[in-house]
Amino acid sequence: MPLHLKPIALILLSTLASLIDPLPTQAQHQQPTQQQFLTQTITQTQPQIQGTSLPQTLTAKLLQHMAWRSFVPLKEVRIVRTEETLVDGCLSIAPPDVPCNAIGIPGWKVTIEARQHRFLYHATAQHGFKLNGLASISPTMTNQVLEDASWRSGLP
């Protein structure tokens, strides 16, 4: 597998695994002083974001999470678009056959760029965020990962 595909393959696999048994994100275990540092860094390094503005603490957590998941340095991760939306109790990203509260929670769809790849998160101020892995992985990348998995396993 080409070297640049490995982080994306890991993101795809971890996203699929998170649908089965979500784990707490690294961003949820931050020390307040580190969070303040990240917020200040984000404020200084983020260009003007197209769309509606997110709370700075949520912005910092989203960027740090994407840097952590994609193995890309934080300074190379940026939010390129935000869109206000209403999400359900599962942040509109539910695993199959899992019931979610059908309530309208105000939130955002956040597009984040890590190097040349774009990822879509669903976020709310009160309930955190989730990576929408299926919307984030391009069809070309999905096919490459599946071809590699087929080759490695010997299955068609």
In terms of residue numbers, what domain contains 86? 30-150
- Which pTM was predicted? 0.58
19 assigned to some structural domain: no
122 assigned to some structural domain: yes
Q: Give pLDDT, residue 121.
A: 92
143 assigned to some structural domain: yes
**Range in 9-13, 63-67, 105-109, 116-120 with the lowest mean pLDDT:** 9-13
Contact 97, 66 (CB under 8 A): no
Based on the structure, what is the number of domains in the chain?
Answer: 1
77 assigned to some structural domain: yes
12 assigned to some structural domain: no
Q: Give pLDDT, residue 15.
A: 58
When pLDDT is cut at 50, 70 and 90, the band that residue 65 belongs to is: very high
Q: Give pLDDT, residue 30.
A: 47
**Alpha helix (H) ranges present in 2-155?**
6-20, 32-45, 56-70, 133-136, 139-153
CA atoms within 13 A of residue 114's CA, in its CB half-sphere:
23
49 assigned to some structural domain: yes
Sheet with 105-114, side-by-side order of all strands? 77-87, 105-114, 117-124, 128-131
When pLDDT is cut at 50, 70 and 90, the band that residue 34 belongs to is: low
* C-alpha–C-alpha distance, residues 65 and 70, integer Å: 8
7 assigned to some structural domain: no
5 assigned to some structural domain: no
